[in-house]
């Protein structure tokens, strides 16, 4: 049996809490729109050990969820030319499509795919690092990309593949591969990741960009802008967008 540690947080403390959870051997983290953090653990002992480290309102509960009843989110994404309707199941993984970090990334994906990619060009290669439910990779495929999504959570890959099938997307591949496994370069990469993971992966992500390609970095609090800019200092900042306390950057490899 697996166990959940459920924590009530706020935007200021969320990043620190998530970092502590990863250090405490969580198997995955889900953050909902009300800033409730649910962290999975392989045993009650591990969940309680993590709880003892954290401050604030929290509880340890068994994972008795009935995953046979999926939580389906309907997303209507409007571009200049079309309305894209997606069905995303994200019960066990991050990525219901409505969190500010995801919404900001969606805006930039649409911008790059509709403005920066020439209509007569070959299908651009798109990579979603930490794909979760696969929503961003699925959107990119709907917009004409050949998409790849990677995650270290097997539940995420399972959910992403189901979501790709439900949305009738074929030009997409989800896997547990790491960044070193790719022998191709990408026209567009999205990294919607917490700050400690951005720090760990920044150089590897940068190495996978084609010349003049774009990188979208999300999952970052506005107070963390200085750090994230230092991690990707070899790239040029095109612009940024913020929503609530979150910020998303668009870089180019020039």
Instruction: Give me the CATH topology for the region 72-252.
Output: Rossmann fold (3.40.50)
The Cα angle at residue 121 between residues 115 and 124, in degrees rounded to 5: 75
Residue 122 DSSP one-character state: P
Note the pLDDT tens digit of each residue in 92-119: 556 667 788 899 999 999 999 988 777 6
Note the pLDDT tens digit of each residue in 186-238: 999 999 998 999 999 999 999 999 999 999 999 998 999 999 999 999 999 99
Distances (CA, A) of 40 to 36, 50, 128, 232: 13, 11, 22, 30
Please tell me the predicted confidence (pLDDT) of residue 247: 95
Please tell me the predicted confidence (pLDDT) of residue 29: 73
Note the pLDDT tens digit of each residue in 114-170: 887 776 778 999 999 999 899 999 999 999 999 999 998 888 899 899 999 999 999
The pTM for the full model equals 0.78
Domain ranges for the chain: 3-62, 72-252
Instruction: Give me the CATH topology for the region 3-62.
Output: Alpha-Beta Plaits (3.30.70)
């Amino acid at each position: 049996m697996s166990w959940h540690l459920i924590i009530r947080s706020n935007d200021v403390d969320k990043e620190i809490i998530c970092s502590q959870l990863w250090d405490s051997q969580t198997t995955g983290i889900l953050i909902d729109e009300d800033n409730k953090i649910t962290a999975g653990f392989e045993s009650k002992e591990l969940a309680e050990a993590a709880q003892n480290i954290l401050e604030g309102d929290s509880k340890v509960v068994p994972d008795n969820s009935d995953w046979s009843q999926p939580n389906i989110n309907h997303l209507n994404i409007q571009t200049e030319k079309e309305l894209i309707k997606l069905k995303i199941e994200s019960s066990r993984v991050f990525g219901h499509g409505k969190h500010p970090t995801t919404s900001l990334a969606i805006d930039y994906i649409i911008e790059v795919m509709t403005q920066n990619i020439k209509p007569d060009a070959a299908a651009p290669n798109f990579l979603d690092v930490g794909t979760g439910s696969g929503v961003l990779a699925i959107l990119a495929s709907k917009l004409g990309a050949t998409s790849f999504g990677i995650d270290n959570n097997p539940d995420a890959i399972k959910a992403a593949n189901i979501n790709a099938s439900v949305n009738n997307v074929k030009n997409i591949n989800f896997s547990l591969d790491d960044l070193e496994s790719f022998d191709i370069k990408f026209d567009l990469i999205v990294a919607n990741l917490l700050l400690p993971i951005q720090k760990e992966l920044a150089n590897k992500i940068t190495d996978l960009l084609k010349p003049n390609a774009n990188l979208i970095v999300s999952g970052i609090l506005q107070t963390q802008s200085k750090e994230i800019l230092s991690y990707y200092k070899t790239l040029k900042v095109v612009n940024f967008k913020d929503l609530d306390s979150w910020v998303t950057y668009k870089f180019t490899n020039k």
